[in-house]
């Protein structure tokens, strides 16, 4: 539920994000989607498998982009690409710190008020340091789709 384009809860932001990445033409179109993937070092809000077989991780926050950046950085241990997802207004403020995202090799997405995703900062592809966790994530997706 949104009030004046601002999300009231993180759960609402995640719900709209998951709906948006399933849409045809979405910039980060997902073939499979799972929420709350629990792994050794944390719990990732959303993981997806792209059409080309890449595992993507997404950390959503309403305002605390630095916390989300740290969580997304941890997810690079198992994901090929990792992103922070924020409401558009917050995401544009966080983009002023693009060097922090570059340093951690994490991307940045904005959820627009119209329910679409804008990729403000593309995450580079990385080779996961823990491929066994990547395998668990794919199994998680296969059982939840």
What the block records as the tokens of 21 is 């990445």
> pLDDT tens, 40-51?
778 899 999 988
- Res 31: pLDDT: 87
Domains and CATH numbers, the chain: 2-143 (3.40.1350)
Task: Centre a 10 Å sphere on the Cβ of residue 75 and count the other Cβ atoms it contains.
Answer: 28
Distance between CA atoms of residues 55 and 21, nearest Å: 14
Distance between CA atoms of residues 2 and 108, nearest Å: 21
> pLDDT tens, 110-120?
999 899 999 99
- Res 5: pLDDT: 52
Which strands form 117-121's sheet, in the order they lie side by side? 32-39, 42-49, 55-60, 81-87, 107-111, 117-121
Q: How does the average pLDDT of the chain come out, rounded?
A: 91
Taking the whole predicted model, whether its pTM rises above 0.85 is answered as yes
Residue 42: is it exposed, middle or buried by C-beta count within 10 angstroms (0-12/13-18/19+)?
A: middle
Let me know: does 109 contact 84? Beta carbons within 8 Å: yes
pLDDT in tens, the chain (145 residues): 454 357 889 999 999 999 999 988 889 888 899 999 888 778 899 999 988 889 999 999 999 999 999 999 999 999 999 999 999 999 999 999 999 999 999 999 999 989 999 999 999 999 999 999 999 999 999 987 7
């Amino acid at each position: 539920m949104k009030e004046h384009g601002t999300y009231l809860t993180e759960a609402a932001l995640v719900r709209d994000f998951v709906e948006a990445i399933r849409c045809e033409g979405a910039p980060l179109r997902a073939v499979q989607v799972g929420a709350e993937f629990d792994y050794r070092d944390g719990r990732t809000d959303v993981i997806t498998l792209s059409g080309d077989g890449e595992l993507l991780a997404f950390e959503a926050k309403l305002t605390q982009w630095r916390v989300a950046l740290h969580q997304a950085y941890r997810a690079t241990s198992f994901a090929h690409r990792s992103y922070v997802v924020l409401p558009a207004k917050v995401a544009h403020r966080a983009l002023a710190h693009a060097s922090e995202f570059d340093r951690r090799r994490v991307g940045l997405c904005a959820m627009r008020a119209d329910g679409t995703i804008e990729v403000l900062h593309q995450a580079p592809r990385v080779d996961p340091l823990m491929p066994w966790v990547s395998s668990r994530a794919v199994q998680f997706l296969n059982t939840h789709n």
